[in-house]
Amino acid sequence: MSIKKTTDKVADDIAKMPADAKVAKSNAETEAGDMIEKKATKVATKERQTRKRIPLGTRNILTAPKKPGFVRRFVNDKGDRIQTFKDAGWRAAEMAGQVGDDKAGRATSMGSGATPSVGGGQRAVLMEIPEKYYKEDAKAKQDAIAKVEREIARNKPGQDGLDGQVKIS
């Protein structure tokens, strides 16, 4: 039997039904739809209760466990940044496990625990340096800043000939 004939037969059968049967059939369909909707709502509610909701913008993929005696940071694998850090004494961190917050559906590759994706097809590398060297570098940076600040304080306004007024008439 063709689809058209089957459809026509069902339509004829419905037309021949008594009004009470049509109402009963309609009520049964409504009740079935309500039951399906309630079941779906119950499943969705249970899913929400078992999985913790994480608000947008609060997930931090760039976190890693601390290592005593070392300072760690993520460096974007772009251009020669990784080599620049290696030249300064940093090394890629050896890690077992996952870095960052859990993220359902995150694509990962084997052995990439310390190189999370940071978006735009770019990855970051977890690098570390002994704390002793980190403190030496930080002190050198601070000394350079202090030198510039002393120069600014030494040159009082008007001493360098760059002080004055502009009047618009």
pLDDT score of 84 more than 90: yes
pLDDT score of 46 more than 90: no
pLDDT score of 80 more than 80: yes
| DSSP tag of 94 | P
105 pLDDT band (50/70/90 cuts)?
A: very low
Report how many helices (DSSP H) and strands (DSSP E) the chain contains, helices first: 4, 4
Which residue carries 């980190």 as its tokens? Answer: 134
Which alpha helices (H) appear in the chain, and where do they start and end? 3-16, 19-50, 81-87, 131-154
- The answer to whether 150 touches 142, Cβ cutoff 8 Å, is no
- Spatial CA neighbour of 75 closest among 55, 57, 89: 89
Query: How much is the pLDDT for 157?
Result: 62
pLDDT score of 102 more than 90: no
Name the residue with higher pLDDT: 152 or 3.
Answer: 152
* Tokens coding 160: 């360098």
What's the rounded mean pLDDT across residues 75-92?
A: 91
